[in-house]
Structure formats: structure tokens, C-alpha cells
Amino acid sequence: MVLIDSDGSLDAHAVIGCGEPQVVVRRGVAYAARLRPVRADSAIGLPAGGWRLDAGGEGTLEDLVVSPCPRTELTAGQVRVAVAAVGVNFRDVLVALGMYPGGGQLGPRAPVWSSRSPPT
């Protein structure tokens, strides 16, 4: 059995016996998934101490940056939250790929109250 996602530019019978479990056909070319190890020089360097992942620029995946985020003492009226979960929906995927009309920010988070400032 072969799962074929084709744009119709190639006869499906031409790829059925290729030995791949899944094939994508685009503009007459058949593609199969491949995984390979990441090069050591392509790894993201994380700052020492606290850090955060920011959606810079247009908010797409290509614009993600790692920024230092040192933990500071809370001042009056501040609270600290920890993000316990992040939801990703279809709109978020379109935003991350730069395909959402007019851009946008990524969607819902599930913050958990972590600490608060001392009362004044």
C-alpha cells in the first residue's frame, strides 16, 4: 500500500511500485520523506541563565529568536506566571508560516500563577 498525495501531474501508477510508503507528487516530481541528523553548527545556542523564545519580525517560524530573560525580583503589583501549555490551532499555523492575512500573533497559552510581589 502506498499513500500518494498528487497534484495530478504524474500518473499514480508510475510511483506505486517505488518502495516508499508515502509519496508526494508535485509538478511531475515524486518526493519521499527523509530524516537526517542535524549538523552540529546548526544548533541554537542558548544563553546562560534564563531565556525565552520570541516571535520577532513578522511572527513566522523563520523569525523566532532566543532572547536572554533573566529572572528579576517582582515589584509592587506584579505577578509571575509560568506557561504550562500552549495551544496551536489552524490560525496559528497560518501565522507561523506567514500566510495569515494581515499577520497576527500566536494563540492561546495556559498561564499558571507562579508568584506575586509582596503587598505594599
- Kindly report, residue by residue over 25-41, the tens digit of the pLDDT: 999 999 998 888 877 77
Whole-number Å distance between alpha carbons of 18 and 60: 35
118 in Cβ contact with 80 (< 8 Å): no
**What is the predicted pLDDT for the residue at 26?**
93
What lies within 8 Å, CB to CB, of 1 at 6+ separation is 21
- Residues 12 and 53 reside in one and the same domain: no
- Residues 107 and 80 reside in one and the same domain: yes
- Looking at the predicted structure, is the pLDDT value of residue 119 above 70? no
Long-range contact list for 72-77, CB < 8 A, 24+ apart?
Answer: 74/115, 74/116, 74/117, 74/118, 75/117, 76/117, 76/118, 76/119, 76/120, 77/117
Segments forming the whole domain that contains residue 6? 1-35
Whole-number Å distance between alpha carbons of 93 and 96: 5
**What is the predicted pLDDT for the residue at 105?**
66
- Residues 61 and 101 reside in one and the same domain: yes
Question: What is the CA 56 to chain-centroid distance, rounded?
Answer: 13
Q: What is the pLDDT of residues 48-97, one digit of tens each?
A: 888 888 877 776 777 788 888 888 888 888 888 877 777 777 877 887 77
**What is the predicted pLDDT for the residue at 95?**
77
- Residues 24 and 49 reside in one and the same domain: no
- Looking at the predicted structure, is the pLDDT value of residue 8 above 60? yes
Question: Rounded to two decimals, what is the model's pTM?
Answer: 0.44
